[in-house]
Amino acid sequence: MNMLPKTPVRYHIRHDTRYRYDQPVGESRQLLRLTPRELPQQTLRQHRLDIDPEPARRQRFTDGLGNLVETLHFERDHDALLIRAESWVELLPRELPALADSPPWETVRDALEYRAGRTLDAAQLDACGYLFESRHVRVKREFADYAAADFPPQAPLLVGVHRLMRRIFDEFTFDPEATDISTPVTEVFEKRRGVCQDFAHFMLSCLRSLGLPARYVSGYLLTRPPPGKPRLIGADATHAWVSVYCPEHGWVDFDPTNALLPDLEHITIGWGHDFADVSPLRGVILGGGEHEPEIAVTVVPEDEFETLYGAAELPGLRLA
| pLDDT tens digits, one per residue of 208-226 | 999 999 999 999 999 887 7
**Are the CB atoms for 84 and 15 separated by under 8 Å?**
yes
Residue 27's alpha-carbon distances to 24, 57, 72, 272, in angstroms, are 9, 12, 11, 29
Percent of the chain exceeding pLDDT 90 equals 78
pLDDT of the residue at 232:
59
Asked if 269 and 285 sit in the same domain, the reply is no
Q: At what angle are helices 141-148 and 196-209 packed, to 10 degrees?
A: 90
Asked if 133 and 194 sit in the same domain, the reply is yes
Q: What is the mean pLDDT of residues 46-50?
A: 95
In a domain, 316, yes or no: no
Q: How far apart are CA 271 and CA 246, in angstroms?
A: 16
pLDDT of the residue at 129:
96
Asked if 194 and 225 sit in the same domain, the reply is yes
Quote the DSSP letter at residue 231: -
pLDDT of the residue at 235:
66
Residues 188-202: tens digit of each pLDDT:
999 999 999 999 999
Asked if 238 and 286 sit in the same domain, the reply is no
In a domain, 3, yes or no: no
pLDDT of the residue at 315:
47
pLDDT of the residue at 168:
98
Residues 228-242: tens digit of each pLDDT:
777 656 668 899 999
Q: What is the CATH number of the domain that holds 35?
A: 2.60.40.2250
Task: Give residue 30's domain range.
Answer: 9-92+280-309
Asked if 157 and 303 sit in the same domain, the reply is no
Asked if 159 and 28 sit in the same domain, the reply is no
pLDDT of the residue at 57:
95
Query: Quick check: 314 pLDDT over 60?
Result: no
pLDDT of the residue at 317:
42
In a domain, 289, yes or no: yes
Asked if the bond preceding 53 is cis, omega within 30° of 0, the reply is yes
**Are the CB atoms for 82 and 237 separated by under 8 Å?**
no
Quote the DSSP letter at residue 37: P
Asked if 108 and 215 sit in the same domain, the reply is yes
Asked if 244 and 191 sit in the same domain, the reply is yes
**Are the CB atoms for 91 and 8 separated by under 8 Å?**
yes
Percent of the chain exceeding pLDDT 70 equals 93
Burial of 58 (0-12, 13-18, 19+ CB in 10 A): middle
Q: What is the CATH number of the domain that holds 186?
A: 3.10.620.30
Domain count, the chain: 2
In a domain, 57, yes or no: yes
- How large is the C-alpha radius of gyration of the chain? 21
In a domain, 318, yes or no: no
Tell me what the pLDDT averaged over the chain comes to: 91
Residues 264-282: tens digit of each pLDDT:
999 999 999 999 999 999 9
- The more confident residue out of 232 and 52 is 52
Asked if 71 and 155 sit in the same domain, the reply is no
pLDDT of the residue at 5:
53
Asked if 123 and 253 sit in the same domain, the reply is yes
Residue 318's pLDDT band (cuts 50, 70, 90): very low
pLDDT of the residue at 123:
93
Residues 72-109: tens digit of each pLDDT:
999 999 999 999 999 999 999 998 889 999 999 999 99
Residues 119-136: tens digit of each pLDDT:
889 999 999 999 999 999
Asked if 135 and 225 sit in the same domain, the reply is yes
Burial of 215 (0-12, 13-18, 19+ CB in 10 A): buried
Burial of 165 (0-12, 13-18, 19+ CB in 10 A): buried
Residues 142-177: tens digit of each pLDDT:
999 999 999 999 999 999 999 999 999 999 999 999
Asked if 141 and 273 sit in the same domain, the reply is yes
In a domain, 320, yes or no: no
Query: Quick check: 1 pLDDT over 50?
Result: no
In a domain, 33, yes or no: yes
3-state SS class at 178: coil
Burial of 55 (0-12, 13-18, 19+ CB in 10 A): buried
Q: What is the mean pLDDT of residues 285-311?
A: 85
In a domain, 129, yes or no: yes
Q: How many Cα atoms sit within 13 Å of 261 on the Cβ side?
A: 17
Closest by Cα among 227, 249, 296, 216 to 94: 249
